[in-house]
């Protein structure tokens, strides 16, 4: 079984990072992030309880000897990705990035902040504008950063100048300032007009940094389709790691309240160049309740009360990338069934089993009805033996019957080892 595809079956933040990290440590030689960008935040705890958060890097980065690939379906912001790379200590020869990755450039971040953050509650990381310019055949790729530098810098300059036709100087100046500050560029440029700011910023800071990054990225770039096929032929154990989830797929029913890529299986194939026969197991990740950030329909949502705020804090349900409070609701099995159908799911991992005692009720939606289950108890940290509880067994039995998925994993704590397969 050389290729396992990991997909979130809800609205992102199901706990994919933890599951990928556990599987990588048990089994994988290669971990491939196939879509999204720094909008994601995968939180991982090792067995000692140390916390790590990845945004654009694959979650295999913590396993020694694991080859990590960012495939062409991911959008990358060169400066922040470089900072993320530096923040982890790993063998640099074990990170590869597709030369075809579309770039997230300053004007993408500005457009996201100016328009889409308030429109649909995006993470404001420039994801949508970067993908849409790629689809329009305008955007630049990592290849351009490394080999067409002048063309790239002209493109950035012209795109930023063009924004001036749509937005006022004041608007742009404020956003450029916040971009400069948030990304820790020098602040000597403020309180002059956007155009002066822009020229100064680009020529004296941004392009200089990009120029340095050219040679840095040259050591990482690959033709990701080719490399992935070779690894597959060599029978390497490969994990394909999705970001976000089924509900946020750009071609899903929640459009336009969606991300700009396809976390679902079709996306995974396009973005890695693998064909459908080369995916040996699709593993869906489901949280025992559900959460969402951003606007749009969200069935089974819990009302916004004081108790909900307390519960959210207990569960730590705040965006790993933006810190925004997440909307929460009951597990919706009608949605999970659709997500399984779309993705041909073979296996499901249910996460946050240890958080059930924290919930006011263990309730789920099936066939548009509420189904109630007795909650289980836990003493401090949950252990493998605790999964023998009849209440957990009955809950899992019902889940299996409804989803018709027999292979279930239970994630019952934050640590790597707290994942049990029930076969």
Residues that bind ligand IMP in the complex, under the rule CB under 6 A: 12-13, 39-41, 120-123, 125, 127-128, 243-244, 248, 257, 259-260, 293-294
Q: Which is nearer to ligand IMP, 179 or 395 (CB)?
A: 179
Q: How many CB atoms lie within 10 A of CB 221?
A: 19
Q: Which is nearer to ligand IMP, 155 or 298 (CB)?
A: 298
What are 43's strand-pairing partners? Answer: 53
How many Å apart are CA 150 and CA 270, to the nearest integer? 30
For residue 19, the SS3 value is helix
Residue 247 φ then ψ, to 5°: -65, -20
Q: Which is nearer to ligand IMP, 43 or 227 (CB)?
A: 43
CB of 293 to ligand IMP, least distance (A): 4
Which region holds residue 102: left if phi is over 0, alpha if psi is between -120 and 50, else beta?
beta
* Residue at shortest CB range from ligand IMP: 294
Which tokens belong to 107?
């004007």
CB of 104 to ligand IMP, least distance (A): 11
CB of 40 to ligand IMP, least distance (A): 4
Q: How many CB atoms lie within 10 A of CB 159?
A: 20
DSSP characters for 207-227? HHHHHHHHHHHHTTEE-HHHH
CA distances from 176 to 59, 164, 181, 370, 386 (A): 32, 12, 9, 48, 53
Query: What is the arrangement of strands in the sheet containing 289-292, beginning at the earlier edge strand?
Result: 289-292, 327-332, 362-366, 369-373
Q: Which is nearer to ligand IMP, 198 or 243 (CB)?
A: 243
DSSP characters for 155-214? HHHHHHHHHTTTS-HHHHHHHHHHHHHHTT---TTTTS-HHHHHHHHIIIIIHHHHHHHH
CB of 123 to ligand IMP, least distance (A): 3
Catalytic amino acids?
Answer: 13, 42
Q: Which is nearer to ligand IMP, 298 or 376 (CB)?
A: 298
Q: Are strands 327-332 and 369-373 parallel, antiparallel or unpaired?
A: unpaired
CB of 2 to ligand IMP, least distance (A): 27
Q: Which is nearer to ligand IMP, 11 or 220 (CB)?
A: 11
CB of 383 to ligand IMP, least distance (A): 29
């Amino acid at each position: 079984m050389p290729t396992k595809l990991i997909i979130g079956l809800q609205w992102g933040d199901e706990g994919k990072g933890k599951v990928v990290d556990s599987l990588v440590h048990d089994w994988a030689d290669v971990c491939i992030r196939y879509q999204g960008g720094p909008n994601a935040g995968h939180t991982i705890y090792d067995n000692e309880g140390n916390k790590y958060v990845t945004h654009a890097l694959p979650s295999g980065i913590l396993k020694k000897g694991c080859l990590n690939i960012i495939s062409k379906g991911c959008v990358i912001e060169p400066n922040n990705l470089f900072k993320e790379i530096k923040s982890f200590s790993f063998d640099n020869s074990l990170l590869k990035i597709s030369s075809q990755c579309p770039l997230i450039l300053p004007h993408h971040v500005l457009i996201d902040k100016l328009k889409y953050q308030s429109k649909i509650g995006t993470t404001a990381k420039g994801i949508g504008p970067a993908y849409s310019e790629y689809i329009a055949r305008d955007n630049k790729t990592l290849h351009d950063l490394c080999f067409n530098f002048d063309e790239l810098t002209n493109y950035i300059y012209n795109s930023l100048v063009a924004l001036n036709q749509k937005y006022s100087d004041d608007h742009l100046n404020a956003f450029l300032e916040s971009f400069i500050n948030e990304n820790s560029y020098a602040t000597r440029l403020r309180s002059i007009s956007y155009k002066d700011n822009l020229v100064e910023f680009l020529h004296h800071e941004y392009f200089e940094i990009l120029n340095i990054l050219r040679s840095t990225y040259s050591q990482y770039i690959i033709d990701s389709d080719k490399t992935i096929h070779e690894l597959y032929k060599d029978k390497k154990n490969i994990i394909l790691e999705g970001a976000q989830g089924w509900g946020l797929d750009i071609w899903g029913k929640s459009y336009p309240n969606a991300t700009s890529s396809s976390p679902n299986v079709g996306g995974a194939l396009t973005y890695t160049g693998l064909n459908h026969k080369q995916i040996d197991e699709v593993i869906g990740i489901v949280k025992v309740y559900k959460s969402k950030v951003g606007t749009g329909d969200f069935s089974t949502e819990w009302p916004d009360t004081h108790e909900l705020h307390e519960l959210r804090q207990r569960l730590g349900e705040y965006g790993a990338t933006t810190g925004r409070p997440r909307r929460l609701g009951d597990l919706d099995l009608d949605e999970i069934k659709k997500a399984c159908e779309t993705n041909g799911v073979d296996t499901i991992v249910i996460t946050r089993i240890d958080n059930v005692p924290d919930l006011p009720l263990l309730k789920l939606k099936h066939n548009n009805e509420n189904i109630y289950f007795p909650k289980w108890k836990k003493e401090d940290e949950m252990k493998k033996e605790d999964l023998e509880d009849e209440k957990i067994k009955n809950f899992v039995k019902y889940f299996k019957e409804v989803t018709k998925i027999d292979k279930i994993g239970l994630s019952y704590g934050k640590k790597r080892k707290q994942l049990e397969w029930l076969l």
